[in-house]
Amino acid sequence: MQIPDHVEAGIQALASRKGTLNCYLYDTSTMREKIERLTRMIPPGVEIFYAMKANPHPAFLTAAREAGAKGIEIAGLGEAEKAVAAGFPPAQLIYTGPGKTPEELRWGVEHGIRTIHIESLTEAYRLERICAELDRTQGILLRINANFDIHEAQTTFSGGSKKFGIDEEKLHAVLPHILALSHLNFHGLHVYAASGVLNVGDLIKNCERVFDMATTVEAQHPEIVCDIIDFGGGFGVDYLETGRDFDPVAYADGLKELIDEHGFSGRTFFLELGRYLAADSGWFCTEILDIKESRGKKQVICAGGINHFRRPAALAINHPLSIVRMGRPRLFDGQESVCNESVYFGGPLCTGADKLANNVYVAAADVGDIAVFGYAGAYGLSMSNIEFLSHARPDEVLID
Ligand SMILES: Cc1ncc(COP(=O)(O)O)c(C=O)c1O
């Protein structure tokens, strides 16, 4: 991985200070550029929301707001509060995810958030009751667990038995109940197929199937229009550095064609993007504390592990890695180092699961150098086991 010069300079400066380096480094200028670029290329009616679960740091929320994101996709009250604190009014929040508590739903209704995405009939009835108590109505989308999946994705959110949404084949039975709830304003469908998709064709196929679904729903219920259709997130990033990046131009063109073909212009389409917007705006930088040879393989032990950067272990993939050489004096003659070999990187936790990377080829590394993991701006700290072993929280340092 090639670290941008200013990021490398930032790491060198931080690592030269007293104390062990273990931090996330953020430069949100890439995220800003991506939002601005996408906004210019997407067809009219398509609105970009930042899925803040990728990175809830205020700098990312501010970047999203200043770059023109339409709002924030939230999945809980904690996220709602952070989004509002970063300057997004509640009317710019859309609320997704299974298992919303009555308190969270009440907050959403009381504060007038834009849409609540219903994940089950129970949730619909719960929300209806809250709205009735408050004498308010609430805009909703219905989340569907579509009957197809995207095979190449890192994680799938629909197809098969899933905790997300209502099974597509149950839609015809469930929808009449939801439409009968007088405090819920039905706006349309939400189908989020998969995350980490690099093949644009797969995501466009998903959009086409969702459009077909909306067309069927409208044929069965002439009294309603799906005036909002939410495709979720899913734009991938090239973690494995294969040179095969997600192509947003192809996506925008494909979506425009579909909108025209289906006569859906004038409607609103939501994209809730997390990974694609945030991943390449962050690096996890952790100092190498130890290197030892163990039965034929070097074990490189870093200051932070899955408590600070869990994603590689959770998804069983290596993130791109670079070593920033610090040239620190050796502690003793014969101290191990890494030289042109494939090694294991782990953290300081007392579990074999504490893996940062495995079988990763490294040209040179010494104790005191900084291991830098790329694409760590999304699902880095936000999905880590922060409390495990009670180590200090890593710093989050801004360099933009
Ligand atoms: C409902 C919902 N929307 C959007 C996203 C963001 O997905 P991605 O980071 O793949 O863009 C997620 C991720 O889990 C999600 O659950």
**Is 117:141 a contact under the CB 8 Å cutoff?**
yes
0.85 cut: is pTM over it?
A: yes
Residue-wise pLDDT tens digits, 10-52: 999 999 998 999 999 999 999 999 999 999 999 999 999 999 9
13 C-alpha to center of ligand 1: Å? 34
At residue 222, the pLDDT reads 95
At residue 158, the pLDDT reads 72
d(CA 110, CA 137): 10
Q: Tell me which residue has tokens 């930088």.
A: 285
At residue 8, the pLDDT reads 95
Residue nearest to atom 2 of ligand 1 (CA): 232
Ligand 1 pocket (Cβ < 6 Å) reads 51, 53-54, 73, 96-97, 192, 195, 232-235, 272-276
172 C-alpha to center of ligand 1: Å? 26
HEC letters along 1-57: CCCCHHHHHHHHHHHHCCCCCEEEEECCHHHHHHHHHHHHHCCCCEEEEEEHHHCCC
Cα–Cα distances in Å, from 137 out to 4, 72, 181, 187?
49, 21, 10, 12
**Ligand 1 nearest atom to the CA of residue 195, by list position:** 10
Choose the residue to mutate in 119, 197, 272 for probing ligand 1, maximizing ligand atoms within 8 Å of C-beta: 272
Cα–Cα distances in Å, from 378 out to 74, 206, 349?
15, 23, 22
At residue 400, the pLDDT reads 67
Q: What is the bridge-based pairing of β-strands 370-373 and 282-294? A: antiparallel
The share of the chain scoring above pLDDT 90, in percent, equals 92
Q: What is the bridge-based pairing of β-strands 297-302 and 282-294? A: antiparallel
Regions of the chain where pLDDT drops below 50: none
Residue-wise pLDDT tens digits, 125-170: 999 999 999 999 999 999 999 987 666 666 676 778 888 999 999 9
**Ligand 1 nearest atom to the CA of residue 196, by list position:** 10
**Is 288:357 a contact under the CB 8 Å cutoff?**
no
Strand-pairing partners, residue 229, are 189, 269
At residue 169, the pLDDT reads 94
